[in-house]
Amino acid sequence: MAQTISYITGSQLLSLQRRPNIAIIDVRDDERSYDGHIAGSFHYASGTFTDKITNLIQDVKGKDTLVFHCALSQVRGPTCAWRLANYLEEMKEDAGIKNILVLERGFNGWEASGRPVCRCTDIPCKGASASSSIRIHSR
């Protein structure tokens, strides 16, 4: 089954209430360490993403919705989302991932809109991640 990549707005992501089946995947490289991040997000730098896909699949076990982002979600975020979708398709792996989304406007848009940013240095971030019901639209 071919996976599709959809987009989610910051407002939609923020409105999610602690749903345990959602994971936010930050694929920014070095800027995560000094710009902060969305609380509870996993960090898989785009530069090494392909090499660590199997680690990601392990980390998100039990999650069926993954939300990818980079700084602007124009290149790295969507590219990594597609890499994961293609990997799952090629490997015929059923990781339980049903939705792969990309955060519109990325981290920069998230922060510019006044949404909460975590500046902890914990790896992985132990902050509460966003969760609840979500409207998905394709682009």
Q: Which are the catalytic amino acids?
A: 70
Please report which residue ranges of the chain form alpha helices under DSSP H.
Answer: 10-15, 31-35, 53-59, 76-91, 106-112
At 105, list the tokens: 């406007």
Residue with tokens 């392990």: 58
In this structure, which amino acid lies at residue 96? G
